[in-house]
A and B are shown apart, each in its own frame.
Chain A
Amino acid sequence: MPANSLLLSSSPSAFAGGSTRKVMAAVIVALLPTTVYGIVLYGVPALLVVLTSVATSVLSEWGFRALIRKSVSIGDLSAAVTGLLLALVIPAATPLWMVALGAVFAIVVVKEFFGGVGANPFNPALAGRAMLLMSFPAALTGWTKPFADAVATATPLGVYKTAEQALVQAGSTAADAASGAMAQLLDQLGASDMGGLYWTMFLGNRSGSLGESSILLILVGAALLLALGVIQWIIPVAMIGSVFLGSWALGLDPVLAVLSGGVVLGAFFMATDYSSSPMTPKGKAIFGVGAGLLTVLIRRFGAFPEGVTYGILLMNAITPFLDTLRVKKFGFVPPAKPAKEAAK
């Protein structure tokens, strides 16, 4: 009989065979369609942004952990996911040194300073984007036209907001300003009616961040993650639903609100980030609704045309509280109310 060679590890002795690496690999695969489309739209600069962001993220995680003498963790692919996500939420024309700076900030400051994978309270890619946007507002809103070499333009949300503000300042009524702004947007995207506009926005031939424009391809990736059980439906549905309803309540076109900016990419790939979003179903619902409503409020009343980044980051901050909204355990018995009983 073999002595001292048998495993005595505690039960269970069976494992499903999952790993952090497999989860992250699934996210990367799910992001490939929209990444490739972004490279098709914006060409070589987009490819360079993606490569720079991913490579810097992985290298900075490796380097930082080597520096503080922690085990190598880049094999779990979470740094690569952060790098890829950061690339997808910035303009394709962002200078590469800024991309690298954003990646280092995302990985070292936002992720590793808090303890690494699973421990970061804020979404690293979005925090990286927020840092870049604050530091280099011009570069981070330096949009280029799809299929045109470095022709500057504005995003649909930007076009609309700028036009509306100009019309209001010129003395138009709110309603006139809205319709005038919409006319300019139709013109910019070459659409003859709202149906055509929605369709163009859904397919993605419009300017914006590298990987946010094709709703169709983002949904393909999201469907994969949902099917694999990597993400749950609650946060994305709550967030997109509240963007739709919130925009409608504030008199904005709700369909356009969902299709434009980074709502769909953010809802499926950013707001579902494990580390920075709640694990409880109730928490997920509140998180999604909150992120959606904050997005709408920022878009309508804030200084920026887009609000997804801050909407999600603000909700990240209350995730620890949302995690206390646990499901009632099996056989839950409400605690007795001693005061009432004493009164009897």
Chain B
Amino acid sequence: MSTKTFRGGAHPPERKERSAELPIERVEQVKQVVIPVNQHFGAPIQPLVKVGDSVKRGQKIADSDGRMTCPVHASIAGTVKKIEPRMQPNNVEGLCVVIEPDGSGATEFMSPLDGFACTKEEALARIHEAGIVGMGGAGFPTWVKLAPPPNKPIDVVIANAAECEPYLTIDERVLTEKPGDFVEGMAVVMRLLGVKRGVIGLEENKKHCVAGLEKAVAERARGAAIEIVLLKTKYPQGGEKMLIVAVTGKEVPSGGLPMDVGAVVQNVGTFVAVCEAFRDGKPLIERGFTASGGALESPKNLYVPIGTVIADLVPEVLKVDEAKVRKVIAGGPMMGVPVPNWTFPVQKNTSGVLFLDADEAKAPAEDPCIRCGRCMRACSCRLSPALLNKALEAGDLDLAREIGVLDCIECGTCSFVCPARIQLVQRFRVGKQLLRNKIAKEAKHAGK
């Protein structure tokens, strides 16, 4: 099997060996869950419960009938103690439902649904009702992705099993431990979309998963044509656009979506959640994530109720060396969000929590750009980061737009390779905001 890839990229130290061999540990007893009401990309939703209510595990606790929304469910049985803003892993405060367990273990799942026999409408409704969002990071509502407009035919479903972020091994573990559920979820999605071709995009460093996956495809795919494509181990191979171009050779047009090139991409965990939503009627109330980093005594792959507060796992489950920890990240080291403490809850798109020590978390001072061009060759979107940075420094937002600041996926490769350690991505984030403000302002003036 030859390996496919995209142009550009970099090779950050993987550090996956620390947790790649560790089976997923299930955490069942938690003293509370703090469930953010809004965990998806899209329009905000409202709580359906009030303080004092007793809720069952799997009961819907927040929803809205708007488009681009996704319901949220209680992940444990218990009593709603508070509904108040708390810090979310994206480092902003958002409304959260705090539930303390009552020990009853009462469960309220949906009834099972045969994903290979139901209608497409039923299948889509099930994925919506189960509150499934993209579990790889963006938290895009899955049901929206699976309901493309009729003028956008989909011809391939791609499972994003690249897991290109260093440290993170949860997808690798899921592929090793639950390949059947993963494949079944993928087959259900392919049937729902009426797509004949399924591709599992796997980075080469997870080659050992191939045998298990092939067996799972033979046993659980119900005849769906799912092939495994090995990808070069290179960051950001798991970027949606990079994955699509590696697998199909097609580039998602600037400003467009994967459906513009006939592709739907879902993360490994998302397919498992789909499988469980049909087979068990279980909404997305639990997820796996990797806890790692040099300031953590032993790294772990954990499976916890959504809303589990990281601090509640310390020190019984996670032994954090408080003297060593220099940076805490929700997610991976390349795109994850640095957080000021670890009192945040695991939400639907939290794939990792890292406790980095001083060696791993450097914040080196910036030097002047020497125009070496490393960022230009590494940029997975071919955006000429050094020139973009220069345009933004000069306040030339029109040039920044022309170069493509809005196309930046913020993967961090340019900042990673920069010998002058210029915080390019951070500057582009600011640049995007300035440009969006300018565009909005101009639109307003044009409207008058």
Contact = CB atoms under 8 A, between A and B. Distances in A.
A71 B175 CA distance: 52
B416 A16 contact: yes
Nearest to B331: A11
Interface residues of B, number: 70
B337 interface: yes
Chain A interface residue bracket vs B:
35 or more
Given A3-B341, A329-B403, A331-B252, A11 B336 contact: yes
A279 B384 contact: yes
A280 B334 CA distance: 25
A321 interface: no
Contacts of B123: none
A8 B338 contact: yes
Contacts of B334: 11-14
B251 A279 contact: no
Interface string A224-246: 00000110100000000000000
A20 interface: yes
Given A1-B322, A22-B419, A13 B333 contact: yes
Given A14-B166, A19-B367, A20-B370, A7 B417 contact: no
Contacts of B13: 14
B376 A12 contact: no
A117 interface: yes
Interface string B222-259: 00000000000000000001000100000111111000
Contacts of B166: 14
Given A118-B371, A279-B384, A327-B382, A12 B425 contact: yes
Contacts of B317: none
Given A23-B419, A279-B376, A331-B256, A14 B338 contact: no
Given A2-B322, A6-B340, A274 B373 contact: yes
B421 interface: yes
A119 interface: yes
Nearest to A232: B373
Contact of A12 (B373, B387, B416): B416
A110 to B, nearest CB: 15
A127 B361 CA distance: 42
A256 to B, nearest CB: 33
Q: Which of B370, B386, B421, B423 has the most A CB atoms < 10 Å from its CB?
A: B370
Contacts of B340: 4, 6, 8
A273 B336 CA distance: 35
Interface in A202-250: 229-230, 232
Interface in A315-333: 323, 326-333
B158 interface: no
Contacts of B254: 329-333
Interface in A272-307: 274-275, 279-280
A167 B107 CA distance: 104
B371 A275 contact: yes
Q: Which of A6, A22, A118 has the most B CB atoms < 10 Å from its CB?
A: A6
Given A2-B325, A15-B362, A279-B384, A119 B416 contact: no
Contacts of B301: none
B273 interface: no
Interface string B360-373: 11111001111111
A14 B338 CA distance: 12
A12 B333 contact: yes
Nearest to B326: A7
A192 interface: no
B418 A279 contact: no
Interface in A106-122: 115-119
Nearest to B12: A14
A19 B419 CA distance: 4
Contacts of A6: 325-328, 338-341
B356 interface: yes
A22 to B, nearest CB: 7
B356 A331 contact: no
Interface in B332-352: 333-343
A12 B335 contact: yes
Interface string B301-342: 000000000010000000000100111110001111111111
A20 B356 contact: no
